[in-house]
Amino acid sequence: MAGVLLMGVMTGCQNKGTENTTGEQGNTEGTVSGETADSGVVDLLVWAEEDNHTMLAGMIESFKKHYAGQAEFEITLAVQSDAGVRDVMLGDIHSGADVFSFPDDQLNSLIAGGVLDAVPDSAAIKSANTAESVAAASLNGRMYGYPMTADNGYFLYYDKDYFTEEDVKTLDGILAVAEREGKKFSMELNSGWYMYAFFGNTGMSFGLNEDGVTNHCIWNTTEGEITGVEVGQVLVDLVAHPGFMCVPDGEFITYAKEGTVIAAVSGVWNAVSVKEVWGEDYGAVQLPTYTCKGKQIQMSSFTGYKMMGVNSYSEHPDWAHKLADWLTNEENQTIRFVERNQGPSNIKAAASDEVMKVPAIQAVIAQSQYGVLQRVGNNFWSPCTDFINILLEGNTAGTPLQELMDNLANGIAASTVQ
């Protein structure tokens, strides 16, 4: 892995553009070094989610207008899901897009595979974006992506017709209201992404090993201020609670429309739907605390960011960097918020009055102080799902909880893909 990573970084350096100067609209501006107006057609391919294409088409037109006279541009937009970028790119880098959007958890793999070209003027990008988004776009102190959004985390939605601000501060309060009203609190607990919320602030070590492939995990520990079984019992009690239901994140809106779900853990991608169901006064706040060993423990979360990357094998690397920078500048991050309700990573854009008025975005920002970047090996997911599914089924085999915790931790830390 270390060898592959070195090759990836070297590959990225081969096509690295020269430094750019700060501009008035983007982070960079001016004639691009190495490519001039008479250098012929600048042909660039851009990958992005289909839902963003109409918006991006406008941004690309403004880019062409801004740099008119410096080159003749042929910029093509193609559909590519952000989640699939890593697999497609690593399958055939040379056929990949010059500029593409991707989530931060793919950064290390894309660097190791030699896909990402390093950001040439990182100082300008760092100063324009939040420190957390910059960290998410960096490896070993070097930036490989242009931060674009800072909203890929989760928090608590709730219907203000049922809950007070005090109710939603604790999981006990939420469940009590749900049970009293004959309603449900929803969470996709059998997903490791969400289940992590109960372990993140317990002091029990978990994370990606230096090999970049395997995990370390002591969620089964029998020592320390909080043990694995004690958190495990919290989860046992939660799935058995009459005020709780475990449903996939994408389905809780259906139950909310039916009137069954009145609070749920989710992210900004459901903000529009939540607003349609619960109205203008829907509630959105950081995750609650939960009771364990007589104490209130703040629920944690995985935080996530999206960014634009530049292909190391682009035939026009300088212009590709210019475009990636343009698509993620303050003005265009503001457009993303207005048109797609996507939370900005740009400091000035995030501080706008309009962004401050959106409960969901403010909630994900508030929760981020209790979150960590998602950096996990492949073995993390299945053991988490298996563990919660056993609890949801009532642990019919009667397996001791300590044994279930051992299986969970050992599965997460296994050396081979299960």
Ranges for all domains in the chain classified under CATH 3.40.190.10 = 2-151+304-345, 155-303+372-412
- Residues 299 and 198: beta-carbon distance below 8 Å: yes
d(CA 186, CA 181): 14
pLDDT over 80 at 144, yes or no: yes
- Residues 186 and 264: beta-carbon distance below 8 Å: yes
Three-class DSSP category at 250: helix
What does the pLDDT read at residue 36? 44
What does the pLDDT read at residue 211? 87
For the chain, how far is it from start to end, CA to CA, in angstroms? 20
pLDDT mean across residues, the chain? 90
pLDDT over 90 at 329, yes or no: yes
The token pair at 373 is: 């970047």
60-70 pLDDT, tens digit per residue, is 999 999 999 99
pLDDT band for 416, please (50, 70, 90 cuts). low
CA dihedral over 266, 108, 196, 232, signed as positive or negative: positive
Q: Strand 146-149 and strand 215-217: pairing?
A: unpaired
Report the CATH superfamily, name and number, of domain 155-303+372-412. Answer: Periplasmic binding protein-like II (3.40.190.10)
Q: What amino acid occupies position 309? A: G
pLDDT over 60 at 59, yes or no: yes
Minimum mean pLDDT range among 9-23, 147-161, 338-352: 9-23
169-197 pLDDT, tens digit per residue, is 999 999 999 999 999 999 999 999 999 99
d(CA 377, CA 371): 18
122-136 pLDDT, tens digit per residue, is 999 999 999 999 999
pLDDT band for 39, please (50, 70, 90 cuts). low
The model scores a pTM over 0.85: no
Taking residues 353-371, report their average pLDDT. Answer: 93
pLDDT band for 415, please (50, 70, 90 cuts). confident
Question: Within 13 Å and on the Cβ side, how many CA atoms surround 230?
Answer: 19
* Closest alpha carbon to 336 in 151, 135, 157: 151
381-392 pLDDT, tens digit per residue, is 999 999 999 999
Taking residues 273-281, report their average pLDDT. Answer: 93
Q: Give me the percent of the chain exceeding a pLDDT of 90.
A: 86
Does 3.60.21.10 match the CATH number of domain 2-151+304-345? no
pLDDT over 90 at 3, yes or no: no
Give kind and range of the element (H or E) at residue 79.
strand 72-79
229-269 pLDDT, tens digit per residue, is 999 999 999 999 999 999 999 899 999 999 999 999 999 98
d(CA 121, CA 350): 22
